[in-house]
């Protein structure tokens, strides 16, 4: 009986998977009336199988009622029954004004059925076949190619798109870069823009984050093998922290994106949009794009677009959103814990004795926060002074401050622009390239070599200048392995960027060296700022940028770890000898 139940659940999954493919086909292609009726009927068949599967699951394992998943399943069942109620009792079949004029509800129900059945699958990360770095890289490659095929669907664009441009756009979205070869606002339909938004969300967090956590949540557990693999991907110190880390990542992401979307919605007037739904979609798209540091916009000229370049409240919300996304999830959680401790300290009664002050902010958080604030502070004043009579000339006093802050923070992988990037002064462009190279903080949605890498390099230089043999800060010593990784990342970044500049100079000899260099720094830092040459590059030049965006997102070290097999640690050491460096 148990074997038959497993067979039925497997069949239910494949039916829901076909339902997902049907949704994509329904959106991607224009259907004739008879086919549309068949598709609508198949949706209800998928929902019926999903209901039977859910009831059977609780019938065979009634202890599921005691778990949190019961509430989710109950809401999903009620939602599905509501759709059946509309279909059977409210309107005539396939002619229901309340339902079929808004068929999105049926598609949402089918999508929920697929998620539920998919979560019941046994997901195994076999470390003997693929190491965590290889699994991580493979997940991004799969997302990129699936996204490229979705973007070439007829209903995804107004006038069609070549596969090379679709692959470029998909890579840019999954790698949260923002470089575009076609105008996202005018070239892609609402369906195409929705695909890009989903790719940004999945690329910003990683498809493995969603798949692993939902599988764990619905199944109530996982194998130690999976926990070991995920601990490497999430950098969790303890196996027991793996799924709590994934939960925090998902909750923080959706929480910040929801609040940001609400604030963006309030900051833009209804006069800028034709319908209420357009205003909602604009808010959701830019909230997700900002937090994931993607830089994609449904405006042709990003936030520099007419009607938005002087909306300083909107710009302030977007700045706050992409800065939080660029700090990294461990730092955001650490900051929340610090505020929680500070609040509890205010409301606690003092006993008059000297209280122990716990180490709330970790060394990682302190270094990255100080580096981020220092870089932002310096870049803000530099941008303000260099562009005061240039790109900032059209703004008022407060506008100059907000625009300068935007210009100082967006190069660190956000990619939105509130000024004409091509009109910036040469010194500003040099500073922007440096900021794009530094990037965001580790374990964030941003790219670049990361603020911690930059900070360790500076601290190492200061230690050498002072004649110290180790790096010490905040009464802590930075491990040698962190120093080696930092300088390896710096060296590899220059190898990738210089190689890309050289190749594009060969493939597109008519382009200026500054424009090419800016494009390559932007691609490696997954920023998305451009001097306007992206769409004019040759197919070979675009492919180089695709590779650089991918390498910048997954990191060069991850690629090397994926390519080379780890050697077994040996308990011996050779005599040490210094090499003449200077």
Query: What is the token pair recorded at 9?
Result: 């659940």
Torsion of Cα atoms, 275 then 277 then 279 then 284, to 10°: -170
* CA pair distance 406, 408, nearest whole angstrom: 5
Contact 532, 422 (CB under 8 A): yes
Question: In whole angstroms, how far apart are CA 151 and each of 189, 195, 340, 388, 538?
Answer: 10, 7, 44, 41, 20
* CA pair distance 21, 311, nearest whole angstrom: 41
70-106 residues labelled b (16+ CB within 10 A) or e (exposed): eebbeebeeebeebeebbeeeeeeeebeebbeebeeb
Tell me 86's DSSP state: I
Torsion of Cα atoms, 18 then 160 then 33 then 91, to 10°: 70
Closest among 390, 385, 253, 427 to 328, alpha carbons compared: 253
For residue range 432-482, list pLDDT tens digits in order. Answer: 999 999 988 887 777 888 888 899 889 888 888 887 878 888 888 888 888
For residue range 54-79, list pLDDT tens digits in order. Answer: 777 777 766 656 566 667 777 777 88
Rounded to a whole number of angstroms, the CA Rg of the chain reads 26
Largest pairwise CA distance in the chain: 85
What pLDDT, on the 0 to 100 scale, is given for residue 88?
Answer: 66
pLDDT < 70 positions in the chain: 1-5, 61-70, 88-103, 119-133, 206-246, 346-359, 562, 564-572, 580-582
Closest among 320, 135, 297 to 225, alpha carbons compared: 135
What pLDDT, on the 0 to 100 scale, is given for residue 402?
Answer: 92
Question: In whole angstroms, how far apart are CA 568 and each of 103, 481, 564?
Answer: 57, 17, 13
SS3 224: helix
Dihedral-angle region of residue 413 (phi above 0 means left; psi in -120 to 50 means alpha; beta otherwise): left
Dihedral-angle region of residue 293 (phi above 0 means left; psi in -120 to 50 means alpha; beta otherwise): left
C-alpha angle 364/366/370, rounded to 5°? Answer: 120
Contact 171, 550 (CB under 8 A): yes
β-bridge partners, 95: 92
Report the predicted TM-score, pTM, of the whole model to 2 decimal places.
0.84
Please report where in the chains the tokens 């004409």 appear, as a residue: 420
Query: What is the token pair recorded at 212?
Result: 């692993």
CB under 8 Å to 256, separation ≥6 — which residues?
291, 321, 324, 325
């Amino acid at each position: 009986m148990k074997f038959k139940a497993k067979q039925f659940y497997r069949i239910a999954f494949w039916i829901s998977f076909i339902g997902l493919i049907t949704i994509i086909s329904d959106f991607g292609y224009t259907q004739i009336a008879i086919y549309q009726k068949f598709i609508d009927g198949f949706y209800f068949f998928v929902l019926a199988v999903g209901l039977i599967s859910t009831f059977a699951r609780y019938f065979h394992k009634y202890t599921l009622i005691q778990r949190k998943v019961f509430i989710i399943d109950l809401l999903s069942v009620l939602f599905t029954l509501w759709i059946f109620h509309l279909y059977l009792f409210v309107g005539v079949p396939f002619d229901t004004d309340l339902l079929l004029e808004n068929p999105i509800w049926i598609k949402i129900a089918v999508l929920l059925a697929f998620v539920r059945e998919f979560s019941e699958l046994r997901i195994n990360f076999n470390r003997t076949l693929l190491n965590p770095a290889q699994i991580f890289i493979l997940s991004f490659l799969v997302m990129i190619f699936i996204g490229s095929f979705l973007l070439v669907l007829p209903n995804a664009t107004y006038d069609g798109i070549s596969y090379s441009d679709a692959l470029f756009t998909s890579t840019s979205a999954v790698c949260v870069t923002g470089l575009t070869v076609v105008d996202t606002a005018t070239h892609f339909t609402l369906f195409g823009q929705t695909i890009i938004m989903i790719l940004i969300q999945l690329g910003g967090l990683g498809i493995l984050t969603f798949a692993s956590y939902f599988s764990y949540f619905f199944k109530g557990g996982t194998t130690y093998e999976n926990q070991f693999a995920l601990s490497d991907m999430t950098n969790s110190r303890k196996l027991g922290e793996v799924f709590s880390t994934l939960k925090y990542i998902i909750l923080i992401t959706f929480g910040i994106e929801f609040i940001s979307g609400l604030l963006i919605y309030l900051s833009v007037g209804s006069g800028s949009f034709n319908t209420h739904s357009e205003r909602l979609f604009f808010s959701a798209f830019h909230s997700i794009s900002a937090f994931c540091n993607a830089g994609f916009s449904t405006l042709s000229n990003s936030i520099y677009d007419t009607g938005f370049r002087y909306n300083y409240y909107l710009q302030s919300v977007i700045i706050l959103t992409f800065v939080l996304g660029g700090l990294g999830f461990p730092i955001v959680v650490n900051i929340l814990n610090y505020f929680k401790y500070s609040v509890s300290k205010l409301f606690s009664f003092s006993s008059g004795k000297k209280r122990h002050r716990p180490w709330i902010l970790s060394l990682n958080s302190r270094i990255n926060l100080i580096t981020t604030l220092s870089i932002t502070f310096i870049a803000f004043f530099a941008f303000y002074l260099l562009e005061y009579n240039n790109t900032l000339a059209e703004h008022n006093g407060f506008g100059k401050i907000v625009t300068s802050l935007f210009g100082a923070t967006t190069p660190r992988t956000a990619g939105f622009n509130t000024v004409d990037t091509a009109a910036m002064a040469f010194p500003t462009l040099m500073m922007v390239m440096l900021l794009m190279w530094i990037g965001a903080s580790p374990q964030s949605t941003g790219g670049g070599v990361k603020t911690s890498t930059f900070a360790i390099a500076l601290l190492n230089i200061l230690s050498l200048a002072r004649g110290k043999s180790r790096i010490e800060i905040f009464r802590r010593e930075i491990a040698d392995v962190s120093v080696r990784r930092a300088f390896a990342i710096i060296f590899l970044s220059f190898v990738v960027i210089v190689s890309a500049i050289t190749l594009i100079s060969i493939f597109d000899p008519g382009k200026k060296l500054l424009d090419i260099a800016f494009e390559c720094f932007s691609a490696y830092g997954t920023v998305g700022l451009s001097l306007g040459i992206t769409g004019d590059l040759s197919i070979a030049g675009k492919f180089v940028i695709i590779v650089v965006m991918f390498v910048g997102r997954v990191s060069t070290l991850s690629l090397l770890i994926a390519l080379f097999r780890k050697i077994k640690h040996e308990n011996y050491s050779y005599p040490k000898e210094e090499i003449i460096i200077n």
